[in-house]
Amino acid sequence: MKGTLAISVLLAASAIVSVSSNALAKAGDDEAAGSWSFTTDRPIKTVLVGGSVAAFTGGGFADQLQGACANVEIVNLAKARLGAAAIRTRFHMQVLQNPNLADWRNGAGERWAMVLGGLNSVGNPEQTNANVLGIYHAAHDAGLKVVGLTLGPWGDDSDKRWAGFAGIRRQDNTRRAADFVMGRLTPTAALGKMAAGQSTWKTGDLPDVAVDLYDSELRDSTATTRPEAPLAARIDSDPEVTKMLEAVPAGSRASERARILKQAVEIPRWYLRKDLRSFDHIHPNREGHRVIAAQICKKAPASWGCDCAKLAASVRR
């Protein structure tokens, strides 16, 4: 390929402790080595890896971002139903083991990797963060810089997983994954025992550029909150709350109880906006993908040649 070769890999949804090769194989043992190639003369080559949100076709955020950034070619390798471990395997096989990409893997110049994914495994946020961290490490070891994208907002009161106080744990897990990408957590807070005693992040542990999709225009920040009285009436008998309070020192339980109640009341403001939903409360529609592309564009390196005005709502509608 001609010109300076710059590669961006989008991983949508970590290690301090590396995941074993056996665990890596189990995550996607049917994943064959990639054989695709870049096809344009745009100098910045971008690979998108992630789950079903990133796999949106026909106007997804990858398509829209490429349309706004004159120097970028994006190859979308995202695949539905993958958790973080499987995304990590897919990145390894489709990008690092692809013989057609040997020149850019070993080349000079600016090269990038962008990462989004892990919602399908976020029930175990520590392991999800460890696998996403593993992708960051692999990309950095290959000489790429990394743009990390957090998980987006999701949930709905019609989904029993979010009813009452049940959604507290799911929101906490999602926030933990998002806060890791944004560098807001210590290694122990992000990875638990897998931090192996590491107290601070080292070079290569975190993305070079982090984009917050969870606390963005995607979320329904002005949604009507839940009525407080019904939740207050049942909080002391709710098994989810009881379990959470058991881990809190007795002297702090009253304040933690108040915090949990407030979080439960305000959860609808952390759901994906209804006007940005496609077929459910997890997957954004095309307009939602425009919002994602615009969030990325704000932090894109100048070398990408982006005109973020092309992603303004008034222009796209």
Please tell me the predicted confidence (pLDDT) of residue 284: 98
pLDDT confidence of residue 10: 58
What confidence score (pLDDT) does residue 28 get? Answer: 54
Radius of gyration of the chain (CA): 20
* pLDDT tens for each residue of 33-49: 999 998 998 888 888 99
Confidence of residue 25 (pLDDT cuts 50, 70, 90): very low
- State mean pLDDT over 8-30: 45
- What value does the mean pLDDT take over residues 104-109? 72
In the chain the domains, ranked by start, together with CATH numbers, are 6-157+171-220+273-316 (3.40.50.1110), 224-270 (no CATH)
The answer, yes or no, to whether residue 316 has pLDDT greater than 90, is: no
DSSP string, 242-293: HHHHHTS-GGGHHHHHHHHHHHHHHGGGGSBPGGGBSSSSSSB-HHHHHHHH
pLDDT confidence band for 29 (50 / 70 / 90): low
- Compute the average pLDDT of residues 185-203: 97
Greater pLDDT, 158 or 30: 158
pLDDT at 46: 83
Pairing of strands 112-115, 145-149: parallel
pLDDT, averaged across the chain: 89
Report percent pLDDT > 90 for the chain: 76
Q: What integer pLDDT is reported at residue 145 of this predicted model?
A: 85
183: left (phi over 0), alpha (psi -120 to 50) or beta: left
Helix (H) or strand (E) holding 11: strand 6-11
Return the higher-pLDDT residue of 227 and 10: 227
Round to whole Å and give the CA distance between 218 and 317: 17
Provide the phi-psi class of 197: left if phi over 0, else alpha when psi is between -120 and 50, else beta: left
Q: pLDDT tens across 209-235, in order?
A: 999 999 999 999 999 999 999 999 999
- CA dist., res. 240 & res. 290, Å (int): 36
Neighbours of 311 (CB within 10 A): 24
Tell which wins on pLDDT, 309 or 105: 309
Confidence of residue 13 (pLDDT cuts 50, 70, 90): very low
Q: Where are the alpha helices (H) located in 110-198, listed in sequence order? A: 125-141, 166-181, 187-191
Provide the pLDDT confidence category of residue 27 given band limits of 50, 70 and 90: very low
The whole-number average pLDDT for the span 1-30 is 44
pLDDT in tens, 61-88: 999 999 999 999 888 899 999 999 999 9
